[in-house]
């Protein structure tokens, strides 16, 4: 597989119109925003992209819009987060036809089966039914199926598996999986913003930070400093990124993120109907964080 991922890969949000249809203009604006900020690839339909919850037709339209907006300038990775292998196969084949460059596979999310064997069977089935490179995505607090070092060791032997995205937010979990991935020759990416500098210092190849939707330039500079081995600069940039991540505390993290992007005029604030938008105090906090980061002006 000739896909050598590295650098800052934003897990882009899925822009929706108020009636929950794909907002193609917003996809184009966000693509330009993160590309100008230094994104080395785009990850669509992850947690930030509401991939596991969007209506399948909407997910496909948004994926196609990102592929069209990127126009081959950087790879597009599509998240496959489903309750079963059967649904994941359908989604993966659909995204391959659309023209994505890789699939990012979460563990199946519903039945509490034996975790290791379920994950191994799941990834093996996807590898047999697609020609695309595969990124293994560990996010156990959402899937409730952790990808263990034992499972990853078997999965890593599959030729099409090229990388690991680890988003547990727990250093010991990250370090154990990164060791296995590194020994197998996989690329390793940190998905938890607070651990980016530390992970890069320990040998990660990049990061997939949701806050890069808002501050792609800052996230890209942090990743590059880490890759360059400039730990002093990386620590300073990590502190700045942590300050912007305060936007997540404004309410439910995803709707807060979309509220920040809406205030910046990039995408609308519409998210899944079950997800509560920030209240007035939350919106004030979003504004405060953006002002402190120098992204918007102080309002009277």
- Residue 12 marked as a ligand binder: no
98, 63 in Cβ contact below 8 A?
yes
Beta partners for residue 106, in sequence order: 137
Catalytic residue among 66, 110, 137, 248: 137
Catalytic residue among 165, 174, 248, 258: 165
165 is catalytic: yes
**Ramachandran region, residue 9 (left: φ > 0; alpha: ψ -120 to 50; beta: rest):** beta
What is the SS3 assignment for 164? Answer: strand
Please give the Cα distance from 61 to 68 (Å, whole number): 10
248 is catalytic: no
In b/e form, how buried is each residue of 122-142, taking b as 16+ CB within 10 angstroms?
Answer: bbeebbeebebbbbbbbbbee
Both tokens assigned to 231: 């730990």
111, 82 in Cβ contact below 8 A?
no
Active site residues: 137, 165
Q: Which amino acids are annotated as binding site for pyruvate, given as ranges? A: 208
Q: Which amino acids are annotated as binding site, given as ranges? A: 208
């Amino acid at each position: 597989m000739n896909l050598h991922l590295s650098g800052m890969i934003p897990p882009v949000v899925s822009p929706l119109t108020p009636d929950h249809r794909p907002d193609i203009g917003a996809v184009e604006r966000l693509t330009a925003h993160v590309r100008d900020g230094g994104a080395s690839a785009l990850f669509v339909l992850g947690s930030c992209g509401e991939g596991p919850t969007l209506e399948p037709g909407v997910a496909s339209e948004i994926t196609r819009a990102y592929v069209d907006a990127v126009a081959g300038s950087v790879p597009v990775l599509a998240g496959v987060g489903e309750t079963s292998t059967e649904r994941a196969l359908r989604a993966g084949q659909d995204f391959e036809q659309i023209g994505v460059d890789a699939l990012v596979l979460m563990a199946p999310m519903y039945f509490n089966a034996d975790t290791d064997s379920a994950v191994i069977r799941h990834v093996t089935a996807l590898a047999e039914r697609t020609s695309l490179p595969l990124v293994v995505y560990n996010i156990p607090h959402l899937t409730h199926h952790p990808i263990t070092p034992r499972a990853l060791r078997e999965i890593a032997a599959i030729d099409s598996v090229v990388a690991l995205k680890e988003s547990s937010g727990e250093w010991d979990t990250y370090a154990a999986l990164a060791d296995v991935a590194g020994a197998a020759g996989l690329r390793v990416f940190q998905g938890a913003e607070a651990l980016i500098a530390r992970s890069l210092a320990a040998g990660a190849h990049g990061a997939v930070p949701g806050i890069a939707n808002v501050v792609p330039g800052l996230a890209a500079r942090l990743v590059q400093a880490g890759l360059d081995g400039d730990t002093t600069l990386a620590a300073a940039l990590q502190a700045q990124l942590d300050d912007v991540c305060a936007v997540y505390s404004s309410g439910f993290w995803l709707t807060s993120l979309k509220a920040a992007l809406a205030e910046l005029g990039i995408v609308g604030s519409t998210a899944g109907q079950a997800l509560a938008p920030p209240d007035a105090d939350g919106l004030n906090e979003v504004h405060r964080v953006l002002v402190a980061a120098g992204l918007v002006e102080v309002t009277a």
